[in-house]
Structure 1
Amino acid sequence: MTAAQDDAPDPAAPDVATADTPWVPDLLGDGFQARTLPLPAGAEATLVRHVPSVAPQGSPAQVAVLAVHGFADYFFHPHVARAFADAGVAFYAVDLRGHGRSWDAHVAAGGDPNLVPDIAVYAQDLDAAAEVVRAAGHTSLVVLGHSTGGLIAPLWASAREGRAEALVLNSPWFEHNARRPLRWSAVALAETVAPLAPRAVLSHLGDDYARALHLDHGGPWEFDPAWKPHAPFPVRAAWFRSVRRAQRRLARGLDLDIPVLVLASDRSTTSEHLTSDTVLDVEHIRRIAPRLGWDVDFVSIRGGAHDLSLSAGSASEEYLGVVTDWLRFVV
């Protein structure tokens, strides 16, 4: 997809042939390995795998999950990997170019952390990750997308028919969380500014949600605050324009022919970060979800946070239980 097209990702884009890069120990420690995925034009993504889940008793698990994080985020969720392992599912996660483990190469090449001018390029990241997962011998691939990853994944699946057997979307970013007049004005501003100044800062991502999650601020989770920022993070014009175009494409309907599970919190608020969605409007998610395809299930998780796997109390366990039970039924 070029910056002028209202579509994503481009189904005519070439496949990515993944070089034979080695698996190395991952920062999450025992049981986790990471592998660099070289991409076109010198870009890189990083694939993480939970080794005990990949081939229990020496044979590849039939079903593999590939997790795709959200904006200004990365994979730091070992409890999620272990929950899928307990269900007999192989677990992988990808840090997209410019995020987390893939940050340094992107910045060294002149890119902005966590940002690209056009999110359609992430189709290359998912192509490369899916190729490695398939090569491991799993018979079914399920892509699990969170937030922005939940926007990227269904568009990729629509353009890459047959690459995935199912999708799971955790609080997917289907719509900009603002009142309609503000959404319209934000789109108009991005469309005007992006061609002239693609790196112009239109706004900043708030830091309250990430801070509320982190141990240092009383939250239950430990992660790198540089990779999941605790400071307001810039939202640049070209990136935001590409997101809004992708959202409009998805909202028109995708006609996916694979099972899709969409999950979201039961409510949105502005301050209850661990027990509600303080990033997105869950009613947007509920309304748009049926447009994805012919076999879409929607589940509300009571007391769920924006990232349902990081919810307080039993909500995280409920989310993981719903997903693993659903996978037993559909793949």
Structure 2
Amino acid sequence: MWVKDILGDAYEARTLPLPDDEHGELVATLVRRRAGQSTRAVLYVHGYNDYFFQTHLADFFVSLGYTFYALDLRRSGRSLRPGQTPSMVDSVSEYFTELDEAARIIREEDGHDILVVNAHSTGGLTTSLWAHKLQGTGIITALTLNSPFFDLNANWFLRRVAPVVLAPVGRRQPMRVVPAGLSTVYGDSLHIDRKGSWRFDTAWKPLEGIPTRLGWLVAITHAQRRLRKGLNIDIPVLVTASTASYKSPEWSDDATRMDAVLDVEHIAEFARALGPDVTFIEVPDGLHDLALSAEEARQLYFDTLQEWLNAHVG
């Protein structure tokens, strides 16, 4: 059942029941904004410590004639329930359940012939593996990735050795917190009350991030290893990222024009592992979420999306 969403009259939300977990109710939430009688749709999938609030992203896709959908994944945003650990999963494949159901609703119930996926960060990692699983089905028409989380932003030892060593511990103690200093630099670069331009619910997207759980880290690094071995996504893929990464845990204005979360060189390197039809494009002065960049970089990102969609979807 669709009901009015928190974003206002233009948006509807639908709760997608999932099998309960040890904390009780488990759901995902599908948000919709219609675009007339369009047979085209786009599904936006957020990243870690995130949820859908970017109404200007919906405006962009609706202006192109796409019905806009966004999925708040289990334990995230609208789908977070009391007692749950935000964004926690034991495997990114758990998300395939709500992704499958969202695609079914979009195609079968709402009757869309074209389904483009637009995914950010961890959502980009998850939907890459999902698209690989769906090869040959024709369910997804195209995949567009906004700063996908293809590798940890760390040194070689932490990226390649530590995850293997920690995996057995992670399976025994998945809720154990990984010691790490949480920086507010990225959150500060976004929120209107700090250095940014955007207003969002900091209970659902804390500016300092959320503690990293060992089980989640094992799940992510396992998915990243699978991706780096090579996928066979049989639809066109667009990968976009900023031109530079911001490395300091302390604030400077450079954080307003760089990716302060991931190493963009990793994104460029592993984009080629997705499949045979991959386009990689850099966006100068882009933030980690390119759609939340300053106006000039944001417009360049939208122009890139539009040109690529015109060429690959029509």
Secondary structure class of the residue paired with 2:276: coil
TM-superposed CA distance for 1:185, in Å, is 4.2
Equivalent residue number for residue 32 of structure 1: 11
TM-score (norm 2): 0.92
TM-superposed CA distance for 1:297, in Å, is 0.4
Q: Which runs of 4+ in 1 moved over 6 A?
A: none
TM-superposed CA distance for 1:328, in Å, is 1.9
Equivalent residue number for residue 270 of structure 1: 247
Q: Does 1:123 align with 2:96?
A: yes
Distance 2:165 2:78 in 1: 32
Root-mean-square deviation (CA, aligned residues, Å) is 1.4
The within-5 A match list for 1:96-135 is 96-104=73-81, 107-108=82-83, 111-134=84-107, 135=109
TM-superposed CA distance for 1:198, in Å, is 1.1
Q: Which amino acid letter does the alignment assign opposite residue 35 of structure 1? A: R
Distance 2:282 2:209 in 1: 29
Q: Which runs of 5+ in 1 are unaligned?
A: 1-21
The within-5 A match list for 1:115-264 is 115-134=88-107, 135-161=109-135, 162=137, 163-204=139-180, 205-264=182-241
Q: 1:203 to 1:128 in 2, by over 3 A?
A: farther
TM-superposed CA distance for 1:114, in Å, is 1.7
TM-superposed CA distance for 1:87, in Å, is 1.0
Q: Which amino acid letter does the alignment assign opposite residue 200 of structure 1? A: R
Count of paired positions: 300
The within-5 A match list for 1:38-53 is 38-41=17-20, 42-51=25-34, 53=35
Q: 1:115 to 1:193 in 2, by over 3 A?
A: same
Could you tell me whether the CA contact under 8 Å between 2:147 and 2:242 is conserved in 1?
yes
TM-superposed CA distance for 1:184, in Å, is 3.0
Q: Which amino acid letter does the alignment assign opposite residue 227 of structure 2? A: L
The within-5 A match list for 1:16-27 is 22-27=1-6
Q: 1:206 to 1:193 in 2, by over 3 A?
A: farther
TM-superposed CA distance for 1:197, in Å, is 1.0
TM-superposed CA distance for 1:296, in Å, is 0.4
Distance 2:55 2:295 in 1: 17
Secondary structure class of the residue paired with 2:295: coil
Equivalent residue number for residue 287 of structure 1: 269
Q: Which runs of 5+ in 2 are unaligned?
A: 249-253
TM-superposed CA distance for 1:171, in Å, is 0.1
Distance 2:134 2:158 in 1: 33
Q: Which amino acid letter does the alignment assign opposite residue 87 of structure 2? A: N
Distance 2:89 2:184 in 1: 20
TM-score (norm 1): 0.87
Could you tell me whether the CA contact under 8 Å between 2:151 and 2:159 is conserved in 1?
no
